[in-house]
Amino acid sequence: MNRAGILAVVLAALVAGFAGSFVQQSLLAPVPADAQGNPGAKPLKIALLDLERVARSSRKFKKLKDEWEARQNTLKEENRKMTEEFEEKKAALRRAQARSDASEEVATLRVELAAMEENIKTTREVQKRYLSELLENYQKEVLEDVLGRAQEYCIRQGYHLVLQNYDNPKKDDDMFTGSSFAERVMSKPVLFAPGTVDRSNPYVVDITDALLD
């Protein structure tokens, strides 16, 4: 089973599609009516959030990642045992074929081998679907937790809009491995926000550090 392949397909879809939906969810209360065209109103407050970085740092992510790896290791052990039994059966067939008086045994072993091979193929397909569904559930649980905390924080701090911005250089094969560079850049709703690093921009603030566990 190609773990990296499963993760890449599922996670590429997650990372590429999440940027738009995150903004559309409108985490914050709408800008007050008197802020429109009113010089005396409070300035618009916009927050940047590195959602992937916060998700990776969350306690829930770390817990579920350990569970995810444990489930995969269990399935790997099951596959190892199935493969071992299959190889033993093949060896038994070779031994039977070397004897001139074992034609009936050879026929029986061939039927058993065919059944085992089909079972291995079916089992791996079931495992693939299971891991895909499990990963999707884990991702949803982590992201819902992070989004809930982000919403509470932003309402408390008085932000009017949250934009997703991320730049995670990690290439490890885990639950939030990103897509290609081009896909990541094109899916970002924020390309540049000058003044957020040195906090000289009074309207846009990066709140990622405030939400890290």
| pLDDT tens-place string over residues 54-111 | 888 999 999 999 999 999 999 999 999 999 999 999 999 999 999 888 889 999 999 9
Q: Which residues of 35-71 are buried (b: 16+ CB within 10 A; e: fewer)?
A: eeeeeeeeeebbbbbbbbbbbbbbebbeebbeebeeb
Number of structural domains found in the chain = 1
List, for residues 186-203, the tens digit of each pLDDT value: 577 875 677 777 888 888
Is residue 118 pLDDT above 60, yes or no? yes
Q: Residue 15: pLDDT band by 50, 70, 90 thresholds?
A: very low
**What phi and psi values does residue 120 have, to the nearest 5 degrees?**
-65, -45
Determine the length of the chain. 213
Is residue 127 pLDDT above 90, yes or no? yes
State the residue for tokens 């982590």: 142
Higher pLDDT: 84 or 23? It is 84
What pLDDT does residue 121 have? 95
- The Cα–Cα gap between 163 and 165 comes to 6
What pLDDT does residue 112 have? 95
The region that residue 2 occupies, defined by phi over 0 for left and psi between -120 and 50 for alpha, beta otherwise, is: beta
Q: Two tokens at 157?
A: 């701090």
List, for residues 134-143, the tens digit of each pLDDT value: 988 888 888 8
Contact 209, 53 (CB under 8 A): no
Mean pLDDT, the chain, integer: 77
Dihedral over alpha carbons 73, 79, 83, 88 (to 10 degrees): 80
Domain containing residue 130: 3-211
